[in-house]
């Protein structure tokens, strides 16, 4: 049920982000969503792509340093307090969230957030036990 | 003609040309003294700069009665070679000189060195001894990736390898992809180049899907730039080889002044041809064996260009314990610092090797890095750019910030200078195919 996220190190220089995206495009790797965490000097680009392994090969070949990590896609009811309820449950289960970001497209009637948990496996089972919908990659990419 | 291994010596780690490495000390000192007297005579007769400096001090060659008397003689320094450019220090007429080499000369005129036919034979013999002490012999296929041409590294290693009877693959520097292809296809068993270039080859081989550890390659002979024990570990682990340090400089002969043996514990100086002294670089007094200082070398056999007490700018010490390999010629400790590479920032002396140690302490492996010195509002700044490798990259900002902080702390702890560390993408720092360039000094005078 986990989703594989591709991340890469980007220097804070003009053209670097563009070059990374071009490297992916050249290999036909479609970007579903992305999130750039940046500091004054560098950024970490996290990507959800259709084919993470191919994306990694494309970026590695273009000279980027990359890493594949497991994240969890969680369905969020599109109403006030929807996200808060999920976070309350994660808290109750003692799940440590490293960071999170919104998925760019909705799945059905719902918004989706991508959450990087410290323990992705435990997060999936805890959330599911608590009635929160975790979205499989296949559903996510079909959206 | 160079002597060959006996038919039943092959692969035993002994080569007859290496015999002087095992001379009894008394016999070696006697030989050194006789050769020293002759070379001082020769320099006095044929090199005016040397003769004038001797005369200024009221000295004649007859003053050399013992090896200790060498300490009275004047030093020769790098600028002496520049000032007498091109041929001012030659002791042989051009009709006897068969080879010239020159330094790349990043500033001003290059340094020119000359060899007679005999000098070249001596050079080949000391390079043979260099390779013999690294366990290289007939039957080895050796890729020589030192630059061929004016630089002494390529041809120096080449003739030594031919003399020992190894199969030389004279790739010279550059075209890394082809180097790796040939290394794999030819079943190369040993390589020689600068250590930083070999690290680059390992990195590139991995990118090309070639695991060097699975190739027949078993030994590397590395020199021409200072490197550290940590770098040796990276090379040995990443390349699956034994990495040997060698020492030399063009002014003395080129590579072949000294080399590590199988013990990898200091470099044996080929003392029958090169006499080492260690001096205090400030007072210029000779220090006893064991104390650290600047290495000073005197060539005992060179004909075309004898060098008397040449100040190498390399910081080391003579190891006093005998080596368990059985060689009797003395060893110097690995040269990790060159006073030439040293830079001064805010009044503090810093060596690139210290930065290397600091980075290694944090990452466990040596990343590609460079030091950029700048001056902002009249204040010197030391920037250290460090490439982010796959081992240390994390998708979490906190982890990367922690890495950044630990690198900066480590540098400050070791050098006493606060550095502006910048994490940069892989491959963003230029690679060298010869001597690695670590310091970019962009301070305007």
A14 chain-B contacts, CB cut-off 8 A: none
In this complex, how many residue pairs, one in chain A and one in chain B, have their CB atoms less than 8 Å apart? 53
The pLDDT, as a whole number, for residue B392 is 93
Using alpha carbons only, give the angle B267, B272, B274 rounded to the nearest 5 degrees. 65
Contact (Cβ atoms closer than 8 angstroms) between residue B15 and residue B124:
no
Looking at the structure, tell me whether residues B388 and B289 fall in a common domain: no
The pLDDT, as a whole number, for residue B104 is 65
Domain membership of residue A96 as a residue range: 71-142
Domain boundary among B307, B338, B369: B338
Average pLDDT of chain B? 92
Residue closest to B265 by CA, chosen among B242, B245, B241, B237: B245
Instruction: Summarize pLDDT for B30-84 with one digit per residue, the tens.
Output: 999 999 999 999 999 999 999 999 999 999 999 999 999 999 999 999 889 989 9
Q: What whole-number percentage of chain B has pLDDT above 70?
A: 97
Residue closest to B386 by CA, chosen among B353, B424, B356: B424
Tell me which residues of chain A have a C-beta less than 8 Å from any C-beta of chain B.
Answer: 5, 7, 9-11, 16, 37, 39, 41-42, 44, 46, 60, 63-67, 69, 98-99, 116
Q: Is the pLDDT of residue B1 over 70?
A: no
The enclosing domain of B355 has a CATH number of 3.30.300.30
Give the 3-state secondary structure of residue B422: strand
What does the alpha-carbon distance between residue B96 and residue B102 come to, in Å, rounded to a whole number? 18
Of the candidates B389, B397, B404, which has its C-beta nearest A65's C-beta? B389
Q: At what angle do helices B176-185 and B195-207 cross, to 10 degrees?
A: 80
The pLDDT, as a whole number, for residue B433 is 78
The pLDDT, as a whole number, for residue A143 is 57
Instruction: Summarize pLDDT for A18-42 with one digit per residue, the tens.
Output: 999 999 999 999 999 999 998 888 9
The enclosing domain of B237 has a CATH number of 3.40.50.12780
What does the alpha-carbon distance between residue B171 and residue B319 come to, in Å, rounded to a whole number? 35
Looking at the structure, tell me whether residues B246 and B332 fall in a common domain: yes
Identify from B395, B422, B429, B430 which residue to disrupt to test chain A contact, counting A C-beta atoms within 10 A and taking the largest count: B395
Instruction: Summarize pLDDT for B258-311 with one digit per residue, the tens.
Output: 999 999 999 999 999 999 999 998 899 999 999 999 999 999 999 999 999 999
Predicted complex ipTM exceeds 0.85: yes
The pLDDT, as a whole number, for residue B6 is 77
Domain boundary among A69, A93, A110: A69
Q: Look at A11-15, B130-134, B158-162 and tell me which has the smallest mean pLDDT.
A: A11-15
The pLDDT, as a whole number, for residue B18 is 93
Interchain contact B425–A (C-beta under 8 A) = yes
Q: Is the dihedral of CA B47, B51, B52, B57 positive or negative?
A: positive
Looking at the structure, tell me whether residues A75 and A124 fall in a common domain: yes
Looking at the structure, tell me whether residues B328 and B380 fall in a common domain: no
Looking at the structure, tell me whether residues B288 and B419 fall in a common domain: no
Domains of chain B: total? 2
Give the 3-state secondary structure of chain B: CCCCCCCCCCCCCCCHHHHHHHCCHHHHHHHHHHHHHHHHHHHHHHCHHHHHHHHHCCCCHHHCCCHHHHHHCCCECHHHHHHCCCCCCCCCCHHHEEEEEECCCCCCCCCEEEEEHHHHHHHHHHHHHHHHHCCCCCCCEEEECCCCCCCHHHHHHHHHHHHHCCEEECCCCCCHHHHHHHHHHCCCCEEEECHHHHHHHHHHHHHCCCCHHHCCCCEEEECCCCCCHHHHHHHHHHHCCEEEEEEEECCCCEEEEEEECCCCCCEEECCCCEEEEEECCCCCCECCCCCCEEEEEEECCCCCCCCCCEEEEEEECEECCCCCCCCCCCEECCCCEECCCCEEECCEEECHHHHHHHHHHHHCCCCCEEEEEEEECCEEEEEEEEECCCCCCCCCHHHHHHHHHHHHHHHHHHHCCCEEEEEECCCCCCCCCCCCCCEEECCCC
Looking at the structure, tell me whether residues B256 and B361 fall in a common domain: no
Domain membership of residue B371 as a residue range: 343-441
Instruction: Summarize pLDDT for B186-243 with one digit per residue, the tens.
Output: 999 999 999 989 998 998 999 899 999 999 999 999 998 888 888 899 999 999 999 9
Question: Is pLDDT larger for residue B15 or for residue B302?
Answer: B302
Looking at the structure, tell me whether residues A58 and A102 fall in a common domain: no
């Amino acid at each position: 049920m986990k989703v594989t996220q591709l991340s890469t190190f980007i220097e804070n220089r003009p053209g670097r982000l563009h070059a990374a995206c071009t490297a992916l495009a050249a290999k036909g790797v479609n970007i579903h969503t992305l999130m750039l965490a940046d500091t004054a000097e560098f950024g970490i680009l996290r990507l959800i792509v259709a084919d993470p392994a191919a994306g990694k090969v494309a970026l590695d070949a273009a000279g980027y340093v990359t890493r594949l990590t497991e994240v969890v896609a969680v369905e969020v009811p599109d109403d006030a307090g929807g996200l808060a309820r999920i976070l309350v449950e994660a808290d109750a289960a003692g799940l440590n969230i490293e960071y999170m970001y919104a998925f760019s497209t909705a799945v059905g009637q719902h918004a989706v957030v991508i959450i990087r948990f410290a323990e992705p496996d435990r997060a999936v089972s805890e959330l599911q036990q608590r009635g929160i919908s975790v979205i499989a990659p296949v559903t996510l990419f079909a959206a | 003609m160079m002597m060959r291994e006996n038919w039943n010596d092959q692969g035993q780690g002994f080569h007859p040309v290496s015999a002087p490495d095992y001379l009894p000390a008394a016999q070696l000192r006697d030989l050194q003294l006789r050769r020293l007297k002759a070379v001082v005579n020769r320099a006095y007769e044929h090199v005016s700069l040397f003769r004038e400096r001797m005369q200024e001090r009221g000295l004649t060659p007859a003053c050399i009665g013992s090896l200790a008397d060498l300490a009275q003689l004047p030093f020769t320094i790098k600028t002496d070679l520049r000032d007498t450019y091109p041929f001012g220090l030659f002791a042989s007429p051009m009709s006897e000189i068969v080879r010239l080499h020159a330094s790349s000369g990043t500033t001003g005129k290059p340094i020119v060195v000359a060899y007679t036919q005999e000098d070249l034979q001596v050079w080949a013999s000391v390079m043979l001894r260099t390779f013999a002490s690294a366990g290289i012999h007939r039957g080895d296929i050796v890729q020589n990736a030192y630059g061929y041409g004016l630089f002494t590294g390529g041809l120096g290693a080449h003739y030594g390898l031919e003399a020992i009877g190894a199969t030389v693959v004279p790739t010279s520097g550059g075209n890394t992809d082809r180097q790796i292809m040939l290394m794999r296809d030819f079943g190369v068993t040993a390589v020689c180049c600068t250590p930083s270039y070999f690290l680059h080859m390992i990195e590139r081989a991995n990118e090309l899907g070639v695991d060097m550890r699975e190739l027949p390659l078993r030994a590397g002979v590395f020199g021409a730039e200072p490197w550290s024990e940590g770098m040796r570990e990276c090379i040995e682990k990443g390349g699956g080889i034994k990495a040997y340090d060698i020492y030399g400089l063009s002014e003395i002969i080129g590579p072949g002044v000294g080399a590590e043996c199988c013990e990898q514990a200091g470099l044996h100086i080929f003392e029958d041809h090169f006499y080492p002294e260690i001096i205090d670089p400030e007072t210029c007094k000779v220090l006893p064996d064991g104390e650290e200082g600047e290495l000073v070398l005197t060539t005992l056999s060179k004909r075309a260009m004898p060098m008397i007490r040449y100040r190498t700018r390399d910081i080391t010490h003579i190891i006093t314990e005998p080596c368990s390999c059985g060689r009797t010629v003395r060893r110097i400790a690995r040269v990790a610092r060159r006073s030439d590479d040293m830079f001064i920032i805010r009044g503090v002396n810093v060596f690139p090797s210290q930065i290397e140690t600091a980075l290694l302490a944090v990452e466990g492996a040596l990343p590609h890095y460079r030091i950029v010195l700048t001056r902002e509002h009249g204040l010197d700044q030391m920037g250290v750019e460090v490439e982010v490798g796959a081992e240390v990259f994390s998708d979490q900002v906190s982890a990367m910030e922690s890495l950044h902080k630990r690198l900066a702390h480590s540098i400050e702890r070791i050098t006493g200078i606060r550095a502006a560390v910048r994490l940069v993408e892989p491959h963003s720092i230029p690679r060298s195919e010869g001597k690695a360039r670590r310091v970019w000094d962009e301070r305007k005078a």
